[in-house]
């Protein structure tokens, strides 16, 4: 499976997002009303205020604080992974730096993420547009037919046409026996760690682990050996 893809022409990515403001009361008044309307059918018994901690999952009310990417290195018999993170409080600067990387790569570079087609890729496009930044060619989706978009989604691949269920990256790494370090945070905690603890480095580490896990899952899908720990390199921002 996936043998037709050249891993060296593939970029594994993961993004971490948080609410744009530290609390619901910090939202401008017009956005408070729009937030209430946006979430009225999802909140159940929760108030707009208490539900706001989940605002990071919507590109209209959230922002990106970290993008981690992984490039495959080495050769078939000694494959490696080189990881880099773009993290910061200034989302426009972060996106500009990430886009510069994509612009420096071939236009046909394949982007891969877990649940990327439902979350990472559209979120990136929306935030690029909101920040007034040009789209790198790998994220140019407008006007393209579905088969012309060369993104890979490890969750979609696992569905094999079944659209009923969401399958987490954690579950897939477990069933494919992919070792993963025990995380001190999960996705639901990212907003709190960012706004209340100001620990962006901790979020970057968490994001990098998901890139490693997604890359290893790709290897399993292809029936190949996992990347050895000593062949995984993390470079600075």
pLDDT in tens, 207-233: 999 999 999 999 999 999 999 999 999
Closest residue by Cα to residue 81 from 89, 93, 90, 73: 73
The whole-number pLDDT of residue 237 equals 61
The whole-number pLDDT of residue 6 equals 92
Let me know if residue 95 belongs to a domain.
yes
Let me know if residue 185 belongs to a domain.
yes
Calculate the alpha carbon distances from 181 to 44, 205, 235 in Å. 35, 11, 19
Per-residue exposure over 66-97, b if at least 16 CB sit within 10 Å of its own CB, e if not = bbbbbbbbeeeeebebebbbbbbeebeebbeb
pLDDT digits 0-9 by tens, 108-131:
999 999 999 999 999 999 999 999
- Is-contact 211 205, C-beta < 8 A? no
Task: Look at the chain and report how many structural domains it folds into.
Answer: 1
* CATH number reported for the structural domain that contains residue 170 in this entry: 3.30.420.10
Alpha carbon dihedral 126, 131, 129, 103, in 10-degree steps, equals: -100
Average pLDDT, the chain: 93
Alpha carbon dihedral 91, 128, 7, 69, in 10-degree steps, equals: 0
What secondary structure letter does DSSP report for 225? P
The whole-number pLDDT of residue 122 equals 96
Phi first, then psi, for residue 131 (nearest 5°) are -85, 5
Let me know if residue 30 belongs to a domain.
no
Let me know if residue 47 belongs to a domain.
no
Domain that holds residue 120: 7-20+61-235
Let me know if residue 124 belongs to a domain.
yes
pLDDT digits 0-9 by tens, 162-216:
877 789 999 999 999 998 876 778 888 899 999 999 999 999 999 999 999 999 9
């Amino acid at each position: 499976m996936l043998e037709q893809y050249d891993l060296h022409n593939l970029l594994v990515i993961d993004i971490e997002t948080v609410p744009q403001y530290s609390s619901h009361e910090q939202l401008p008044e017009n956005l408070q009303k729009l937030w209430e309307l946006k979430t009225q059918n999802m909140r159940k018994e929760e108030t707009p205020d208490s539900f706001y901690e989940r605002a990071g999952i919507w590109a209209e009310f959230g922002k990106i604080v970290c993008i981690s990417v992984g490039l495959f290195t080495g050769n078939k018999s000694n494959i490696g992974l080189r990881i880099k993170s773009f993290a910061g409080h200034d989302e426009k600067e972060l996106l500009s730096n990430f886009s510069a990387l994509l612009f420096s790569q071939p236009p046909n570079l394949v982007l891969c993420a877990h649940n990327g087609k439902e979350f990472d890729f559209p979120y990136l496009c929306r935030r690029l547009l909101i920040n007034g930044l040009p789209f790198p060619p790998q994220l140019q989706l407008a006007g393209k037919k579905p088969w012309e978009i060369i993104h890979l989604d490890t969750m979609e691949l696992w569905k094999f046409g079944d659209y009923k269920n969401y399958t987490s990256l954690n579950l897939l790494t477990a069933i494919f026996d992919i070792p993963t370090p025990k995380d001190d945070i999960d996705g639901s905690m990212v907003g709190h760690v960012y706004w209340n603890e100001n620990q962006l480095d901790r979020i970057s580490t968490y994001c990098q682990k998901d890139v490693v896990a997604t890359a290893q899952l790709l290897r399993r899908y292809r029936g190949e050996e996992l990347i050895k720990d000593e062949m995984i390199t993390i470079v600075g921002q």
